Structure 1
Amino acid sequence: MSEDHKKQLEQQLWNIANTLRGKMNADEFRDYILGFIFYKYLSEKMDLYANTILSEDKITYKSIDEQTELGKQYLEVIHEEALEKLGYFLNPSELFSELAKKGNSDIEGSSNFILEDLQRILNNIQLSTMGSESEEDFDNLFEDMDLNSTKLGKTPEARNQLISKVLSHLDKIDFKLEETELDVLGDAYEYLIAQFASGAGKKAGEFYTPQEVSTVLAKIVTTGKEKLKSVYDPTCGSGSLLLRVAKEVKEVGNFYGQELNRTTYNLARMNMILHDVHYRKFDIKQEDTLEYPQHIDYQFEAIVANPPFSANWSANPLHMSDDRFSQYGKLAPSSKADFAFVQHMIYHLADNGTMAIVLPHGVLFRGGAEAHIRQFLIEDKNYLDAVIGLPGNIFYGTSIPTCILVFKKCREQADSVLFIDASNDYERAKTQNYLREQDISKIICTFRERTVKDKYSYLASLEEIKENEYNLNIPRYVDTFEVEEKIDLKETVERIKSIEIDLESIDSQIEVFCNELGIESPK
């Protein structure tokens, strides 16, 4: 599919999404439209797979009569195979196209009320996975779609009319799932998530990292690699950052993530499935990462994260017996969990792995326990590989400048830390700034080649960092001071004198004009 067709699909989906807007805010109607798109995706995937199985019998899935004995035999075989391959099952009568057709039927005597059918089908998708390997991946996926919400309409009839209209519009769009080499729908889904994020204000930071920042993180952790055994995001949001990493390599073995917010956790699982990540290849958990880590026995080759900036956490003294934190001697302060996330990620980092985390600038220079942890990571462990300063106002919900810290347990150049000041390279947009392709390329090339560029990057020795008492504030290492042009005072005085002479001449001219007009001169 061409870029034009891709943009056309994105616009079509966004237009349909806006039919649901009504009185709902962005994150509310997001859950409905993304859920409907996901249901359509599951239906089309099911139909395609079933038709493949039935091709030898020269029949189609939709032609099966579910009430006959022969039809039931077909469905039993397809059900078993679909659970193994897809992880779920839908009957022909439960497919999206069939429900959209019923909801918009104008045949006299037939009912086009579909709300109860839709709720039953969404429940059946989950029920079809019970007792199978994919059960956890589909558990309560559609729980945020309240079809009885008055925000969809005051009466059941009004709600039915709106939902039927949305399903009808979606039904007319061909997702082209048979073109397996393309991920057009996945890209369109990402586009929608980004659009919702831009309209969700402060809440957006809970579920979405701007694509440009995700690209920088993904390129960093995949440097020098074509395949990854595993990638992990301890605060995975909608899963977009994990999926961005996959775009930078030929293959990712497994995806792991944890997310606190239940709605966002559902969105992450949908996002994985919709990007054709097999249910056996991803493991997304819902729980507080710092308090209740769900992958405690795992180590990962690539780790990326954009955790909530300076979030509160328990900092419970009991954590001092937790292997993630015990060796440091101190816990991150309860009002700033930034280094707690760093410690958690380093614990899970494989010896051959790379981790990149976005954090507020304060982590570079704040004192107390954070200074102690920072020193331990550099002096005792020598894990810090690079510090990258980003522009302000590039994240949803906050305008503060941020940085990326890169850590490796086995560093190629263990005698220095690379500092990059990319804070001045960006494009200014209406509501926020964003990194351009050339800005991303400049960061990545500098990181990979570890080059020193005047007023942009610097390789600081460990001794130099020690002399700075492990303060990592970027201006201490990258000199961005611009020498101002020297001013010739004698020439400036002469120019002022010349201007005063010109002004006296102009005043005289004005006085002559005023006298001719018979009005009082300003002087």
Structure 2
Amino acid sequence: MDDLPSLAEPNPMTEEKQRLEQQLWNIANTLRGKMDADDFRDYILGFIFYKYLSRKMEIYANEILAPDKLTYDDIKEESPEGQEYLEAIKAEALEALGYFLKPSELFYQLGARGNADGKSKFILDDLTKVLNNIAQSTMGTDSEEDFDNLFEDLDLTSSKLGKTENAKNELIVKVMSHLEQIDFKLEDSEADVLGDAYEYLIGQFASGAGKKAGEFYTPQQVSKLLAAMVTTGKEKLKSVYDPTCGSGSLLLRVSKQVKEVGKFYGQEMNPTTYNLCRMNMIMHAVHYRRFDIKNENTLEQPQHIDERFEAIVANPPFSAKWNPDAVINDDRFSAYGKLAPSSKADFAFVQHMVHQLSEDGNMACVLPHGVLFRGAAEGHIREYLIKDKNYLDAVIGLPANIFYGTSIPTCVLVLKKQRTHEKDVLFIDASQHFEKVKTQNYLREEDLTKIIDTYRERKAEDKYSYVASLQEIAENDYNLNIPRYVDTFEEEEPVDLTAVAQELKGLEKDMKSTDQTIADYCKELGVESPF
């Protein structure tokens, strides 16, 4: 990874965040070379999360013990008095934090035991037990589902860590020792420096993960765009939902656009990514009662089907295969009279989201360009959404190659059930507004601002945006291909044929002169001239 970019203006909070990001990435590189990117991502993020839980537990326990002039370190776990303290602290911690750790189970205690007297001591068994105890501490409580199997991808017995038990132990102790030297500054409840740094690490892993990256991470600039679309005109949200939530980056981005989000809902099919999403929520200080993330196939096993959401954002897997037979007579799809083809689930996700959208809600999702013009069942669904329901509010064309793992051009569809502008649809062609960074195209802040301002002001701009009437869209047979509405054709400069003719005459004269020069040289050298 290159060094982080320098700041244009000093900003203590930003500088602190960048410093922490660099420190964490350097520690992540301790594992680089030992295993592939996906694996060392799971280990480093898991250990950062364990340290975070430990530090939160210690801070909370110290607050409870402060009136008794004690710290959590002072508790003798085996004494009757210590047991009494631990029971009282556990009851409060499970309610406030959602989990419990004893003093001996804290990150720094394990790290110290592993590095006693400057020598690496064996702690893998103890560490495995502690990670299991975190989940077990929640059993039978409201937070059980939120902490269940959170550390299942952190396999301390894996040969990826080393060939022998001692080699594995040495690597883990080394990573923990490096992490212990970093102050997460969790006492500052106003700052979310660590949460942002954790998000940064997830993005760094995504940038190097190739095709797999799309399974768990939406590029930050796209997240900002979708979040702006669904929060336009709103300062607070009762709920936000992502049916393909990955690492949760989209959900968390929405929360940065408004003053308050009541609750976060998400569903993710991949178990590893599901764990990552829950960790990401907790690392951003989202209380366990304020998020509900499920691990299931959204199209076939929707887990929040009775809920309706004020904001929905999504970056579904592009043109994924699915099983329409599994949803026959499903209320999400039956009104349309057609199902998305089994080879392309794009509109199935749209139909699912529309079903879950509240009457006053906003929805924005990223899809491949094909959804704008493909015919057959997809054309029928598109027509139903526009002609019968009038839900489509805007179509935004994005540049190609802005997503990890795919170079295809994409678009954003914005839908609402109660539209202010009922007689038209806004089209924006932002496909040519970007910066190329290495091998990836990137939406700059000015590009995002232009899209968002154009959407919010609903303005037409030559070669960039157009407000199309529903009549125009109907005349185009509900084909939404953006060039049908936004004319980006650039006229070529007229050719001055007289000037071209004069230029050709000049070239011919120069060629004759050059030919004669070559012929003279050939004569001097006594060789046959080519002319």
TM > 0.5: yes
Q: Of residues 245, 262, 282 in structure 2, which corresponds to 1:273?
A: 282
Match of 2:481 in 1: 473
Deviations 1:10-39 (A, max 9, x none): 111111111112342111110000000000
Paired with 2:257 and 2:487, the residues of 1 have a C-alpha distance of 32
Quick check: 1:291 aligned with 2:300?
A: yes
CA contact (8 A) 1:230 1:256 kept: yes
Quick check: 1:229 aligned with 2:244?
A: no
Paired with 2:473 and 2:378, the residues of 1 have a C-alpha distance of 16
Quick check: 1:301 aligned with 2:310?
A: yes
Identity of aligned residues (%): 71
Q: Of residues 236, 241, 260 in structure 2, which corresponds to 1:251?
A: 260
User: How far off is 1:522 after superposition?
Assistant: 6.2
**What are structure 1's unaligned runs of at least 5 residues?**
none
Match of 1:343 in 2: 351
The structure-2 alpha-carbon separation of the partners of 1:153 and 1:512, relative to structure 1 and needing over 3 Å to count, comes to same
Paired with 1:84 and 1:126, the residues of 2 have a C-alpha distance of 14
Task: Give the TM-score taking structure 1 as reference length.
Answer: 0.97
Match of 1:400 in 2: 408
Q: Of residues 502, 507, 511 in structure 1, which corresponds to 2:510?
A: 502
Match of 2:73 in 1: 62
Task: Give the TM-score taking structure 2 as reference length.
Answer: 0.96
Paired with 1:519 and 1:278, the residues of 2 have a C-alpha distance of 91
Q: Of residues 195, 199, 209 in structure 2, which corresponds to 1:190?
A: 199
Q: Of residues 120, 144, 148 in structure 2, which corresponds to 1:139?
A: 148
User: How far off is 1:508 after superposition?
Assistant: 3.1
Match of 2:9 in 1: none
CA contact (8 A) 1:22 1:151 kept: no
Paired with 1:376 and 1:320, the residues of 2 have a C-alpha distance of 18
Q: Of residues 424, 434, 440 in structure 2, which corresponds to 1:416?
A: 424
Paired with 1:494 and 1:342, the residues of 2 have a C-alpha distance of 60
User: How far off is 1:174 after superposition?
Assistant: 0.5
Q: Secondary structure at the match of 2:512?
A: helix
Paired with 2:47 and 2:505, the residues of 1 have a C-alpha distance of 75
Quick check: 1:487 aligned with 2:492?
A: no
Quick check: 1:391 aligned with 2:399?
A: yes
Q: How does 1:116-127 map to 2 (within 5 A)?
A: 116-127=125-136
Match of 2:158 in 1: 149
Paired with 2:20 and 2:206, the residues of 1 have a C-alpha distance of 19
Match of 2:167 in 1: 158
Q: Secondary structure at the match of 1:19?
A: helix
User: How far off is 1:319 after superposition?
Assistant: 2.6
Paired with 2:511 and 2:182, the residues of 1 have a C-alpha distance of 71
CA contact (8 A) 1:394 1:432 kept: yes
Paired with 2:33 and 2:163, the residues of 1 have a C-alpha distance of 12
Match of 2:8 in 1: none
Match of 2:138 in 1: 129
Quick check: 1:447 aligned with 2:458?
A: no
User: How far off is 1:509 after superposition?
Assistant: 3.6
Q: Secondary structure at the match of 1:321?
A: coil
How many aligned positions are there?
520
Deviations 1:123-161 (A, max 9, x none): 000011011100000000000111011110000000000
Quick check: 1:27 aligned with 2:35?
A: no
Amino acid at match of 1:222: T
Amino acid at match of 2:338: K
Q: Secondary structure at the match of 1:417?
A: strand
Deviations 1:190-235 (A, max 9, x none): 1110111111111110000000000000000000111100000000
Quick check: 1:18 aligned with 2:26?
A: no
Paired with 2:152 and 2:528, the residues of 1 have a C-alpha distance of 80
**Greater mean deviation of Cα atoms: 60-69 or 459-468:** 60-69
User: How far off is 1:513 after superposition?
Assistant: 5.2
Paired with 1:520 and 1:59, the residues of 2 have a C-alpha distance of 105
CA contact (8 A) 1:320 1:329 kept: no
Q: How does 1:80-99 map to 2 (within 5 A)?
A: 80-99=91-110
User: How far off is 1:502 after superposition?
Assistant: 1.9
CA contact (8 A) 2:16 2:193 kept: no
Match of 2:464 in 1: 456
Q: Secondary structure at the match of 1:2?
A: helix
User: How far off is 1:514 after superposition?
Assistant: 5.7
Paired with 1:171 and 1:13, the residues of 2 have a C-alpha distance of 11
Q: Secondary structure at the match of 1:236?
A: coil
Q: Secondary structure at the match of 2:174?
A: helix
User: How far off is 1:504 after superposition?
Assistant: 2.2
**Greater mean deviation of Cα atoms: 293-302 or 1-10:** 1-10
Q: Secondary structure at the match of 1:458?
A: strand
The two structures, once aligned, show a CA RMSD in angstroms of 1.4
User: How far off is 1:521 after superposition?
Assistant: 5.9
Quick check: 1:206 aligned with 2:215?
A: yes
User: How far off is 1:516 after superposition?
Assistant: 5.7
Match of 1:263 in 2: 272
Paired with 1:53 and 1:511, the residues of 2 have a C-alpha distance of 101
Amino acid at match of 2:208: G
Amino acid at match of 1:99: L
CA contact (8 A) 1:212 1:440 kept: yes
Q: Secondary structure at the match of 2:324?
A: coil
Paired with 2:427 and 2:328, the residues of 1 have a C-alpha distance of 31
Q: Secondary structure at the match of 1:66?
A: coil
Amino acid at match of 2:249: S
Q: Secondary structure at the match of 1:448?
A: helix
Amino acid at match of 2:79: T
User: How far off is 1:518 after superposition?
Assistant: 6.7
Amino acid at match of 1:243: L
Match of 2:64 in 1: 53
Amino acid at match of 2:75: I
CA contact (8 A) 1:320 1:330 kept: no
CA contact (8 A) 1:237 1:264 kept: yes
Deviations 1:262-284 (A, max 9, x none): 00000000000010000000000
Paired with 1:513 and 1:5, the residues of 2 have a C-alpha distance of 72
User: How far off is 1:519 after superposition?
Assistant: 6.8
Paired with 2:34 and 2:75, the residues of 1 have a C-alpha distance of 41
Amino acid at match of 1:7: Q
